[in-house]
Structure 1
């Protein structure tokens, strides 16, 4: 039950241990930000002693970064420690190897994918741009969310691709099982997000398979990390769409009221729309082309 035919602890148990450890570490590392929020915002608003976390974090973006970013750092630390001392692996074996050109291409492809979705929605009348492209509205959120999404990109790829996939591969699981498990766990982790939709979870699973493919064909985390960072950041903090249900703070503001939710993703954000499905599929071909060109 606990060990396979080679007398190794089964991958599922290691992944479960890592998941629980990661969750506990996230909660611990988020505590300082929560304490600071309580100290600077109590009573929370207009004498109200019941906290609205979303509103409170909106008032204090640096505290939001301290809380969410701290939790993310805790998750990264737990992943690295388990990989090093339980799996007996190195950072290179976790996926930090290969060329940083992969990271640059990932950043470019993620940003380009969101830009194309934005143009398609704008051209079809599914969104309205509320401030001109010539007049971006920068704010403190532009910086705080950039830092946060960098941390999120590193952490989620380290865990879902680096740890989960490498652990399963070391136990000689079939490649299709490794892809599917890493993508499903990744999607289910977003299942409690606000305004979640079925298509949104399907697209997150699909992009999880894309990230798995990127990791597999490059043998490196750099490409999926880069794509993950700009995919999130350009959705929420450039073009002003919700990111997996999380409220946006973009330098541009869009209205989706007149759009088709099947295309725009509605309140869940672009990841809940069919245009995102199309661009994720296109990104598979773009990745394959990039890898073929790089190999020449």
Structure 2
């Protein structure tokens, strides 16, 4: 009953619209500036990096989202008067083991798949390792990227999913809306400019994957761990001149970018396998009800919570 955790705060429709509208408005302005600019995003990034360095540019890119993370938590606690725990999970306590399991599972898979690709396509990569610059990158990435990814999870799979679910009284609408909006948030990324709008299949598909995990597992823990690993290991392992994160990573991808099967395989092969792994490990059942069922009324939810308290 993850969505119903929103009942633990003070309900008010306007409270659920302020942050999403503000953030999506900011994204829309950013996208409009991107498509109307006479200079490509790639050129802007290259110019910034040449002037202040890629580590400084990475900090500039991450800081607004890091601030956003604390804004979402502050809004939840002060305006909704809802605990951060109930925004995170329906469990009695936040399950850190789930976060670390998803983090290290996807981190390990990312490293393995990257090394396999480097082995079979060595001409597509060059060694980019510089110890001093990499160590600075590692500190920045380890400190800021988990906060950046947590902001996106708490905003989309937390704040928005709970709010939309309480309004719509069902689970499928918040799943669809938050997944699509999560994908569209990336529309101004340099990857979209370089590869075309087909890459949105990956971004929106990732949104659905994270949303399904959240609803099936009744919490954000798995999504938090996966998302942090995805961005962190990518930033440390491989960079390219046309990606959002251009870093002093270990390797640099010098291949000609193109939209191929590698965009579809994660969404339609890897993510379903991961959902199966999580389902087996955590005993997920009642998929239809969890993903498409109705959201309980506040009275029903309070009655169930009281019953649990009496049995404890």
User: What is the number of residues matched between the two proteins?
Assistant: 248
Q: Which digits, 9 at most, give the CA deviation of each residue in 1:87-138, with x for residues without a partner?
A: 332111111543111111111222134234425534654963423xxx9544
TM-score, normalising length from structure 1?
0.70
Distance in structure 2 (CA, Å) of the matches to 1:250 and 1:225: 23
User: Residue 158 and residue 165 in structure 1: after superposition, are their counterparts in 2 closer, same or farther (change >3 A)?
Assistant: same
Out of 71, 85, 89, the residue aligned to residue 64 of structure 2 is 71
User: Residue 142 and residue 81 in structure 1: after superposition, are their counterparts in 2 closer, same or farther (change >3 A)?
Assistant: closer
Question: What corresponds to 2:162 in structure 1?
Answer: 166
User: Residue 288 and residue 252 in structure 1: after superposition, are their counterparts in 2 closer, same or farther (change >3 A)?
Assistant: same
**What is the CA distance between 1:141 and its match in structure 2?**
2.1
Q: Which has the higher contact order (CA 8 A, sep 6+)?
A: 2
**What is the CA distance between 1:54 and its match in structure 2?**
4.8
Out of 32, 42, 55, the residue aligned to residue 47 of structure 2 is 55
Distance in structure 2 (CA, Å) of the matches to 1:142 and 1:243: 21
Out of 264, 271, 276, the residue aligned to residue 274 of structure 1 is 264
**What is the CA distance between 1:283 and its match in structure 2?**
1.9
Distance in structure 1 (CA, Å) of the matches to 2:242 and 2:79: 34
* Paired residues of 1:236 and 1:242 also in contact (CA < 8 A): no
Distance in structure 1 (CA, Å) of the matches to 2:108 and 2:140: 22
Question: What corresponds to 2:147 in structure 1?
Answer: 151
TM-score, normalising length from structure 2?
0.67
- For structure 2, list consecutive stretches of 5 or more residues without a partner in the other structure: 1-10, 28-42, 285-312
Question: What corresponds to 1:228 in structure 2?
Answer: 227
Aligned-pair Cα RMSD in Å: 3.3
Distance in structure 1 (CA, Å) of the matches to 2:147 and 2:234: 16
Distance in structure 2 (CA, Å) of the matches to 1:91 and 1:25: 25
Distance in structure 1 (CA, Å) of the matches to 2:240 and 2:266: 12
* Paired residues of 1:73 and 1:151 also in contact (CA < 8 A): yes
**Secondary structure at 2:191 match in 1:** coil
Q: Which digits, 9 at most, give the CA deviation of each residue in 1:215-243, with x for residues without a partner?
A: 22332222111110111122232133579
Question: What corresponds to 1:29 in structure 2?
Answer: none
**What is the CA distance between 1:20 and its match in structure 2?**
4.0
Q: Are 1:291 and 2:292 counterparts?
A: no
* Paired residues of 1:68 and 1:148 also in contact (CA < 8 A): no
* Paired residues of 1:106 and 1:226 also in contact (CA < 8 A): yes
Distance in structure 1 (CA, Å) of the matches to 2:81 and 2:197: 38
Q: Are 1:198 and 2:197 counterparts?
A: yes
- For structure 1, list consecutive stretches of 5 or more residues without a partner in the other structure: 1-7, 27-50, 265-272
